[in-house]
Amino acid sequence: MRVQSLVRSAAAGLAAFLLLAMPATPVEAQQPSKNAVALANEILDVRGSMTIFEAIVPGVVEKSKATLLQMNPNLFKDLNEIAAELRKEFTPRLASLREEIARLYASRFTEQELKDTLAFYNSPLGKKIVAEEGNFVDRSMATAQDWAIKLNDEVLRRFRAEMKKRGHPF
């Protein structure tokens, strides 16, 4: 459950950051400076933003393994061994994904904005937000789910009432 919480937290933080980073109108991509990319990498570290992506390589390997197992379930042992090797081989490639994400951040913010963002996340309030975000996302999701259940009950009551008015028993 804690891993799911971390993943949701990282996802929410990344999504919020990316949404805030996107301009209202399209802008030509600019080539960020090395310093801007370095600052973006620091922000990724402070926020723990890359945590969400750690499951990509194992997930892709397991999906491919499952596809091959469907073709021949007798190859389970060999496919498991190969899967372990492939996870080790491909996990370092996350560094290239990280670099692309850092460049994305760095191309959407000025160096000063990145410095200000980093300073914020290193501040007591920024640290608190990072620490509390997982709990906040979990509680927000639970609250939204409860709200949706109540809304569903109300909508069903209305459907039934309206159908009854039209002569359809519900």
Tokens of 126: 């920024």
Q: What angle do CA 162, 166, 167 make, to 5 degrees?
A: 120
* 90: Cβ contacts below 8 Å, ≥ 6 apart: 57, 60, 61
Distance CA 18, CA 15 (A): 5
**pLDDT tens by residue, 46-87:** 999 999 899 999 999 999 999 999 999 999 999 999 999 999
- pTM of this structure: 0.65
User: Tens digits of per-residue pLDDT, 89-147?
Assistant: 999 999 999 999 999 999 999 999 999 999 999 999 999 999 998 899 999 999 999 99
